[in-house]
């Protein structure tokens, strides 16, 4: 019965997986933003344009994914909190 509440396939387990996934995504974004600027002289505009056209680096996209990841994390944490609240209520009043 306990594994039905917390084991594989349960709501709490799925939500916990969601939290882990969101924090892993957040870590990747943090690394990308931290390493986006590699030197203080960054005004080689032609070079930057070529780099931008050819690479995946895009700080705007990273910052948008950051907002998205944070909202996902918040939503998952809220859902997890409410499922725990339900269990708590069942334990106390059931």
Q: Which residue has the tokens 């948008």?
A: 64
Q: Does 65 bind another protein (CB under 8 A)?
A: no
Segment near another protein (CB under 8 A); pick from 50-58, 59-67, 86-94: 59-67
Is residue 27 part of the contact set for another protein (CB under 8 A)?
A: yes
Q: Whole-angstrom Cα distance, residue 29 to residue 37?
A: 14
The least distance separating another protein from the CB of residue 65, rounded to whole angstroms, comes to 11
C-alpha dihedral sign at 71, 77, 81, 86 = positive
Q: Are 83 and 46 in contact (CB under 8 A)?
A: no
Interactions with another protein, residue window 37-56 (CB under 8 A): 37-43
59 binds another protein, rule: CB under 8 A: yes
19 interacts with another protein by CB under 8 A:
yes
Sign of the C-alpha dihedral, residues 41, 65, 20, 73? positive
Q: Name the region of 37 (left: φ>0; alpha: ψ -120 to 50; beta: rest).
A: beta
Could you list the residues that contact another protein (CB under 8 A)?
1-4, 6-8, 13, 16, 19-20, 22-24, 26-27, 29-31, 33-43, 59, 62-63, 66-67, 70, 73-74, 77, 80-81, 84
């Amino acid at each position: 019965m306990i594994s039905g509440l917390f084991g594989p396939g349960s709501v709490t387990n799925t939500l916990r997986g969601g939290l882990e996934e969101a924090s892993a995504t957040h870590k990747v974004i943090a690394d990308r933003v931290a390493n986006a600027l590699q030197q203080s002289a960054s005004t080689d505009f032609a070079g930057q344009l070529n780099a931008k056209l050819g690479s995946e680096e895009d700080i705007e996209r990273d910052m948008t994914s950051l907002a998205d990841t944070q909202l996902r994390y918040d939503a998952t944490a809220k859902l997890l909190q409410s499922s725990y609240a339900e269990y708590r209520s069942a334990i106390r009043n059931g």
